[in-house]
Structure 1
Amino acid sequence: MAEPTDRTREFYERGVRAARQGRFMAADHFFQRAVAHLYGLHGAEGQVHGARHIARIYTELGLARMAARHYRRALALLERAGGRGSVLFGVVAAQLEELNGANLSQVLAGLGILSPGNGPVTDLELHCGQVLDEVRAIAAFGAPDDAACARAAQRLNAAGVPTGRGGAWTGQLIRTLCEGPTPQD
């Protein structure tokens, strides 16, 4: 494992802030960047380990539903890669079972944190991959300009993809996900 850099910490902290604000799509994006930056994970195996690391981050934050989502994602990736009978599949399945078996809601309620549990997948979670594909495509060559962010927002709105707050996508929301500088008013 590499030593955390300032950039890794920045991605992690931005992810934590987004998760605490309930902006899980942004949190996933920043956690993925932090994990990839720290561990140098690539390919299918990298995606599996990345999902496991993100699940652990959410577990530490007390967000059981999001943690379970990423453990299930790791299992699905392993299954697609033909690793259903592998040791890693067993380890991830055990981690998910342990998470589901823990009475996190009761513990967290004592701390004043409400956990929604592992309920159904929301529309936002369902479309998360599509949003992140848009963001990664326009951010692949550096910080995008306002026009590129606006076009990405229009594509998402035309596809009926909701935002975390249920409103329409804006160029500013896309820019925030891309880490571009905020335009000065």
Structure 2
Amino acid sequence: MMCYDNSEMLSRLIDVMANDKPLMLTSPKQRQGSRFEQRACEFLQERGLILVAQNWQQPKVGELDLVMLEKGQAWSTLVFVEVRQRQHSYFGDAAISVTAGKQRKIIKAARHFLQQNPQYHKYECRFDVIAYNTMNKKNKNEANITLDNQPNQRLEINQPEWLQGAFITSAW
């Protein structure tokens, strides 16, 4: 399964019949997050992981950015990946932003994913974080991603930090 870029689809406008005003499906921050999730998916696929699910959501439970399968010689591992991005490190880098509360939400969503997908029960599970620490750049030629709310600003994308086994959980 290939990673898909849903930022275009999500950024489309739809007409609302009641007031004839277009309704934005996502915010600029959500579209930017989608772009980084796409980059993370491609990064992991280049390293041999197989995409199982992208932006898996369960209402009132949570969302999993990426669910990947890492094939090993002895066993395979189901990897739940949280993708984080920070423009500034004033309050710590992107990896640190995965708080204990966020970890609990990811673990809860992973449990629901496994309940709905029993074919993955036999796999070991791991929780990884892909962290992008970016910097604003004024020169448009030096970066890959434009900020939605600041069109003349670009982000300098550093190589992501891949934290394998970033956090663990007790018995499922």
Structure 1 or 2: larger helix share? 1
TM-score where L is the length of structure 2:
0.29
TM-score where L is the length of structure 1:
0.28
Q: Tell me: higher relative CO, structure 1 or 2? Use CA pairs within 8 A at least 6 residues apart.
A: 2
